[in-house]
Amino acid sequence: MPPIDQGLLKNSDFGLPMIKPADEIVRHYAYTLSFSDKDKEPFWVAYTFKRSYLNGMEKRSSHFEPDPDVPTGSANPEDYRHSGYDKGHMAPAADMKWDETAMKESFYLSNVCPQDHRCNDGIWADLEKAVRYWTKDDSIEYIVTGPVLPAQGSPKIGEDHVTVPAYFYKVIFSPFPYPKAIGFIVPNKPGTESFWHYACPISKVEKVTGIDFFPDLPTNMAGQIKNEYDMSDWKSTESFYQ
């Protein structure tokens, strides 16, 4: 497969999904999101994670707050009180230890969705940990995460009527040492399956979400990158046990 043009990787928007004119885009220091006002949570949250970030020592915050940069207003902590759901990070706090501002902004409620605790603390946490292992191996990952938001019929929590997703997705593109990508669609419920059980090509995540991921990929590799995946490319020694 041909190498990635280094000029593309210097473009700060390289890892973002396709942005449509009506999208409500919010750009923070360490991540960018597309916000759904109807659901009071993100359609997607995109960020770049580098090997050097793994050395961060910033203390984890515990202060969730509304996002001051969402014009239509994000959810509030009270929406989650007694709801039975965790405030599930899309861009994980553990990936933001490299910077104080990054950590603070990861606790904005625009970066959060209602998540079953046993999913959040189980299979989802295992997948987030695996991404950090992959970054250690590959030096840089472009990551997009979010809920699968149906047109209607999902339960809501709180006065802001925050949608409870039935599934969450994560897509990862790694340009080094050779271009590869993988997607996951994980149920928002307890389970005993490994996250590997939910691995899929990015094209499947695109079909389920309607989102065009990594539109700046060179056309001569985009089809293969999005339609194919090989778990052996990702099963590093440290993540294989999952």
Does residue 133 form part of some domain?
A: yes
Does residue 32 form part of some domain?
A: yes
How many domains are contained in the chain? 1
The predicted pLDDT at position 228 comes to 93
For the chain, the average pLDDT equals 93
Give this prediction's pTM.
Answer: 0.95
Q: In terms of Cα–Cα distance, which of 130, 80, 82 is closest to 109?
A: 80
Does residue 242 form part of some domain?
A: no
Query: Is the pLDDT assigned to residue 132 strictly greater than 90?
Result: yes
The predicted pLDDT at position 219 comes to 87
More confident residue, 238 or 155: 155
Does residue 42 form part of some domain?
A: yes
61: burial class by Cβ within 10 Å (0-12, 13-18, 19+)? middle
Does residue 238 form part of some domain?
A: no
36-56 pLDDT, tens digit each: 999 999 999 999 999 999 999
The predicted pLDDT at position 241 comes to 47
Does residue 220 form part of some domain?
A: yes
Does residue 205 form part of some domain?
A: yes
Q: Which domain does 74 fall in, by range?
A: 6-233
The predicted pLDDT at position 62 comes to 87
Q: Residue 124 is encoded by which pair of tokens?
A: 């989802």
The predicted pLDDT at position 183 comes to 98
CATH no. for residue 116? Answer: 3.40.570.10
Does residue 43 form part of some domain?
A: yes
Which residues are catalytic, by number? Answer: 89
204-218 pLDDT, tens digit each: 999 999 999 999 999
Give the CB-side neighbour count of residue 151, counting CA atoms within 13 A: 1
